[in-house]
Chains A and B, each alone.
Chain A
């Protein structure tokens, strides 16, 4: 019997039992839809966080302190001001380092521009003008880096907090936790794309005038201490070796090494490292979700197998008739296998469709960029058809070995 005939006959039998077929494929639909949805979410999340970072590495690294969280996986950044003035000087003198920009977090509560006030939802960081210099790390959409202590840079997200977007020369006022206020002229608007923190609206202000945290160094002097450093290297080629040098220094005779808590770890992280770290977390999640999806696919496959066995039992007499009029074993196997493969394929098709639909809804609701996990769609369709084959094998085999005489005797 040719394939087209068995497709036609299989399809007829599926359409002949619409409700049953629908319920049967539901398991596969749910399984595949959940895989696709989660893969879209994972892809969209990665795309959002990593953005265009993964296109090219930058000749820079950030020095941060991290620790393992009590629960869950991954790492947590801690903000302890352990990097002293001396550390900054020492790192700056390492071969291949262009500049070091310490970064300190301030605690702002309100951002005012004209009559408009934004309360909370933004951060303020004190840093050097270097990152915003021409050909620096963060390209300026407009304006230039700050040069006096009452100038500030805002990132795009901060600029967009106001109905009328902030632009260069606008006046803003930042109110801090302790009630003090500072007026700034916006020197420039920067497109800061730096992984996780990038999406927060941030105001960057000059370090020297606005950062006051000092710590007691191991040498019994008081110096400013910073929670993180941004290190720019002279070339992308030298990045790795400079990274090694910076880490070597920080791990040996730096103040930071003395000041850090025991369970804290100092890392110099390049963009590549960051991307790798995020992808690593997403991958772990993917495996976990893949496991859940595999279980639901298994359940779906059992569903198809079950209904196929019922269908074989129900159609014993028909199988007997077909055998009596010339159907070979392989014809019967083909018939039932094709039917279960159609069920699996239908499951895969609707699973992918629902998965993409749901994924799209969720992603646009969260505000991430849509990602189409093409490889997973292909895998899902393959798995759906595979589920059809696997779950159809036993019922088809049972159908094929039906004794036609017995089958025809049945009423």
Chain B
């Protein structure tokens, strides 16, 4: 399965890069959510972000995901500066280049699983039949081929997150962003979701994932540690890439 080595230097291209980004919130006294962070993601890399609550993980995620723009510094996706884009172009970019997976799943409650997966394609004007075929393929891919017409309320937490992952993959994004994707799931279900992420990684996808749990983070190639809006340390996870990496269980918990 994992024939290619995603991390080989010199061969891979940078898909997204943040350079010295700062994001400051002004509520009374200014809060420096991000205070000069530089991070680039190579094609096919799997990066985990850890750090204490309020350290700016979600803020960084939103910048990479084009939901937000930095006050200073640049974010580039495929070499294009996000800051320079119009709101409408950023929305386009979110639809085509980014796939979001959230802690709280964030499915459209009144739509079925298949329809949820279809949504990004609707905004991207994909033809109806193609959309449905692709939604089916994607849901089969995440193991929900038999739950196409279930509403989110009729699915378990793990199943909902699978639907969300299928939706994130709808437009073949360059980058998969996941903000605590296992945060609302029990350990076992969380592990299943991580298996899925590993498979996607093995397929060559670029993934950025925020997590509080060390065990989850260790599925990635490297762990970025944020503290108070600054990049504290980038830790390479040795031996994690192999599917057997999950054997390294029982390591220290998060904080």
Contacts and interface: CB of A to CB of B under 8 A. Distances in A.
B67 A325 contact: no
Nearest to A326: B95
Nearest to B168: A325
Contact of B106 (A327, A329, A405, A408): A408
Contact of A329 (B87, B107, B120, B125): B87
A329 B88 contact: yes
Contacts of A331: 91, 123
B108 A321 contact: yes
Q: Dominant SS at the A interface? A: helix
B96 A326 contact: yes
Contacts of A5: 122
Given A12-B110, A326-B171, A405 B68 contact: yes
**Which among A2, A12, A325 has the greatest number of chain B C-beta atoms within 10 A?**
A325
Interface string A299-312: 00000000000000
B67 A326 contact: no
Contact of B92 (A318, A328, A404, A408): A328
B62 A405 contact: yes
A158 B105 CA distance: 82
A330 B108 CA distance: 19
Given A1-B125, A405-B62, A408-B102, A326 B120 contact: yes
B197 interface: no
Interface string A323-337: 111111111000000
A405 B61 CA distance: 11
Contacts of B125: 1-2
A323 B94 contact: yes
Contact of B122 (A1, A13, A318, A404): A1
A75 interface: no
A16 interface: yes
A326 B91 contact: yes
Interface in B80-131: 87-88, 91-92, 94-96, 100, 102, 104, 106-110, 119-120, 122-125
Contacts of B106: 317, 320-321, 324, 408
B120 to A, nearest CB: 4
A328 B122 contact: no
A331 B109 CA distance: 19
Nearest to A321: B106
A78 interface: no
Contact of B91 (A13, A317, A329, A411): A329
Interface string B167-184: 100110000000000000
Interface of A: 1-2, 5, 12-13, 16, 317-318, 320-331, 404-405, 408, 411
B100 A325 contact: yes
18 contacts: A1-B122, A1-B123, A322-B108, A324-B65, A324-B67, A324-B94, A325-B100, A326-B91, A326-B92, A326-B95, A326-B123, A326-B171, A328-B87, A328-B88, A328-B92, A329-B87, A329-B91, A331-B123
A330 to B, nearest CB: 7
A226 B154 CA distance: 89
A322 B94 CA distance: 10
Contacts of A329: 87-88, 91
Contacts of B120: 325-326
A1 B124 CA distance: 7
A307 B232 CA distance: 49
A16 B110 contact: yes
A322 B102 contact: no
B87 A322 contact: no
A328 B110 contact: no
B181 to A, nearest CB: 14
A147 B119 CA distance: 90
A79 B65 CA distance: 88
A321 B65 CA distance: 13
Nearest to B97: A326
Nearest to A404: B67
Given A2-B125, A325-B119, A328-B92, A318 B108 contact: yes
Given A323-B94, A330-B88, 15 more contacts: A2-B125, A12-B110, A318-B108, A321-B106, A321-B107, A324-B65, A324-B67, A324-B100, A325-B119, A326-B95, A326-B96, A326-B120, A327-B91, A329-B87, A411-B104
Contact of A405 (B67, B108, B123, B167): B67
Contact of A13 (B95, B110, B119): B110
Contacts of A323: 67, 91, 94
Contacts of B100: 324-325
